[in-house]
Amino acid sequence: MITKPTVDLPYWYANAQLGPQSPCSSGSFPGGFDNDTTLNVSRGERAVPGILSNPEATLMTIADLSTIDGIAGWWTEKTTGNSKVGGTFAVRFDTPAGDEIGGFEMDVLELTPDQKVRWRVKAGPAEWVDTDIEFILSRQDDYTIVMFGHRKWREEVEFMGHCSTKWAIYLLSLRDLVETGKGTPAPNDVTISNWH
């Protein structure tokens, strides 16, 4: 029987260091941030953030998880648009009370079922515009591994630390959606700061 490791979020939050100077937010989990177009493996930009499925789980494909309904199942419930290659989709974030926080619009650049998806942010906070979000799947033994990257940041800013932690939360939500059929998308995700 395979069991999930214990996740001690209160400890992580109590001991977190915000900002790009923290090793957690400048290149380790989840995949690091890239402000150029070069794959900088030495900075940990292709770290393995998690294992999505095991033989006992219902294996969903990257194509399933990157549909509008799939994204709404693990990232944010407010997802609309066209998630096919060449399409544009939008994600919006609300507080649990229903107040809108913000959102993004993304172009779908690549989608290879069971292998890769890549999006480019076209609207949203200035720090995110023209960045790429990429998921690459591979099989290792009986597991599906996700390699995640949020690339092409123009500069390291404090917001990167926040985003790094939130991506970790959403990747765990993605894993839960695959393994149990239920993720924890926004607004039901973990709030980590006054940003969300």
116: part of which helix (H) or strand (E)? strand 116-123
**What is the per-residue pLDDT across 80-116, written as a single tens digit (0 to 9) for each?**
999 999 999 999 999 888 899 999 999 999 998 778 8
Q: What is the pLDDT of residues 6-29, one digit of tens each?
A: 555 555 545 554 433 333 333 333
- Superfamily assignment of 16-180 in CATH? START domain (3.30.530.20)
Tell me if the pTM is above 0.75: no
List the domain boundaries for the chain: 16-180
CB-based contact 31:39 (threshold 8 Å): no
Exposure class string for 73-94: b at 16+ Cβ within 10 A, else e: bbbbbbbebebeeeebbbbbbb
